[in-house]
Amino acid sequence: MCGIIGHIKLSGVIDQHIFHGMVKSLEHRGPDGEGVFISSDRKRALGHRRLSFLELTNLGKQPMCNSKKTVWVSFNGEIYNYIELKEELKSSYRFITGCDTEVILAAYQEWGIDFVTRLKGMFAIALLDEEKDELHLIRDRFGIKPLYYGITEDEIVFASELKAIMASKVFPNKVNKSAIADYFVYRYIPSPKTIWQGIKKLPPANYITINLKDLSHKILLYWELSASNDNVEVGILASETEGILKNSVKQHVRADVDIGSFLSGGYDSSALAMWMKEEDKPPTTYSIGFDNWERSEHFYAKTVADYLGLKNEAVVATTDSLNLLERMPEIYDEPIADISIVPTYIVSALARKEVKAVFSGEGADEIFGGYAWQHDFFNKTYNKGLLQMVKNIFKAKNSVDFYAQSMAMGWFDADELKQLLHPNLHKSIPKDVHWFYRSNFRKDLSPFKSIQYMDIKCFMGELVLTKIDRASMANSLEVRVPFLDHQLFEKIFSAQETCYIDANQTKRVLFETLKNKIPDEILARKKQGFVGPDSYYMNMGLYRKELGDSNLVKFEIIQKEYIDSLLKENYNWKLWKILIFEKWFTHWVVKHEE
């Protein structure tokens, strides 16, 4: 896991002092080393911060070039099938390292930009082809690894995090007003927008090719999740799924260092820990709990760890841990109001004391139907008799409204945004506040799969994976996510949803693979998201203290009357969104203007 940075100019030259500062700003993503390539005319620069797992010697240093020094790569992530690709390419390329980065160079040389379709992994890749005068920026299928970029008339800047782009001084600290409205609707800034004007996110499963003669560019989608409607017996589907997942775990444990695993005591993390042990890579497991909460996950995690004979380390969060909210703006760069941003940071810090990488279960809920709203939708739509089911499926063809309500955690529609935001921002409120959900609603999918697809593209791709990447990398910890194997997603989406969803059994297919392999107490446990008790988040004293003298009000972003009305209540998730934005705005705007 690493950080990548780049700056290319058509006129003038790269300021090397500033560029090294950009690279330095991502030191947390790669404390094991730094590399910089600057062209002889000082118009092109690539940078890299290294967190090393393969080829720990300097042979694995980046930016890395081909033998002719015409193609350079700066790469963040892991290519899990690099051994298989290397075997395929060894007849046409002479390898001198044992790392996956060189496989990228060889694959690009053999297959051109289409090589990306052959990769299995998590990645953000920058490929500078000086012979063709092209720059390719590539992001993995699910958006596990981040990639931001900005293009002006005569220069392009890109990086793994926004802070590195802002350090270039190419773009002013000018907030994207429409992104403010989006944030309060979604809890994040949806791709391709960012919180800053002029800077974009590259969406998952896309690559952008830039002509370096004039910076003209095109963005292409290289992978789309396909679906069919095969009627498959659940036992067969479970067996095929288990085979894919075991192979994914086998590939994900490839490293020259030890790998641990997050453990919550749920199906997903328990399965990963079990399969790691089967691969003769028994992990130390890491868990987080909450003080004075009977449903705290660390109790269940200990049950699983003891059953599997694994070491478990746990940390318990208290209300004092919310003091870490002061650090979140620096970690996340743009506001993100997932409720587990602090706990994820804490458990990442715990794991980093002993290991450089851990497994985590992201993706399992999305594909196996583990979320409560997925089950609510399934039960309302599919279990009412044939006639009612047909009627509900017809209605559910536009399931965006249901999904928007499920995701809200503090509902903001256009009317509510007008009450919240200062009048000078009302023009920035989109006519369709749910535009991002609607843009990721696929009419070609069945109603239930359309909900799953929005989860993959929206909830997971924009919120969950951003949270896990920034919280872990702030601690120089790599998180590997074996469930995010595109072959697994394609396998499940090839089946009728009634083959893998059951109203009475959470994650039916995964359950079938785990029967008799983990404790019955865990198998019988109801799904519980990565959350804490409501009392942890609904500390009204904290909100009154932090929002009583709001910078968002002073700078005419939010109306004071709206905050005052919320502070009179005892429970409202809108306050969490406002507090997170308050912290971000104070750190990145107010302090920069002082």
Per-domain residue ranges for the chain? 2-177+189-221, 234-369+446-523, 400-440+538-593
Map residue 421 onto helix, strand or coil: strand
Max CA-CA distance within the chain?
71
Determine the Cα–Cα distance for residues 178 and 114; give it in Å rounded to an integer. Answer: 35
CA angle 507, 512, 515 (to 5 degrees): 115
Listed in sequence order, the residues at least 6 apart from 539 whose beta carbon sits closer than 8 Å to its beta carbon are: 319, 322
Global pTM? 0.95
Pairing mode, if any, of strands 148-151 and 155-159? antiparallel
Determine the Cα–Cα distance for residues 259 and 478; give it in Å rounded to an integer. Answer: 9
The two domains 2-177+189-221 and 234-369+446-523 share their CATH topology (first three levels equal): no
Determine the Cα–Cα distance for residues 554 and 232; give it in Å rounded to an integer. Answer: 59
Map residue 287 onto helix, strand or coil: strand
The pair of structure tokens assigned to 568 is: 């009179």
| pLDDT for 54 | 60
Fold of 234-369+446-523: Rossmann fold (3.40.50)
Q: Helices H, strands E: what count in the chain?
A: 28, 17
The residue type of 535 is S
Q: Can you identify the CATH homologous superfamily of domain 2-177+189-221?
A: Aminohydrolase, N-terminal nucleophile (Ntn) domain (3.60.20.10)
| pLDDT for 57 | 60
Q: What secondary structure does DSSP assign to 326-386, as a single string?
A: GTHHHHHSS----TTHHHHHHHHHHHHTT-SEEE--TTHHHHHT-SHHHHHHHHHHHSS-H
10-residue mean pLDDT profile of the chain (594 residues): values are 92 96 96 92 95 65 91 96 95 89 96 97 97 98 98 97 97 96 98 97 98 97 96 95 97 90 94 96 95 80 95 92 94 95 96 96 96 91 60 62 94 97 97 97 94 98 97 97 98 95 90 90 72 77 93 97 93 94 97 74
For helices 372-382 and 400-407, the axis angle rounded to 10 degrees is: 150
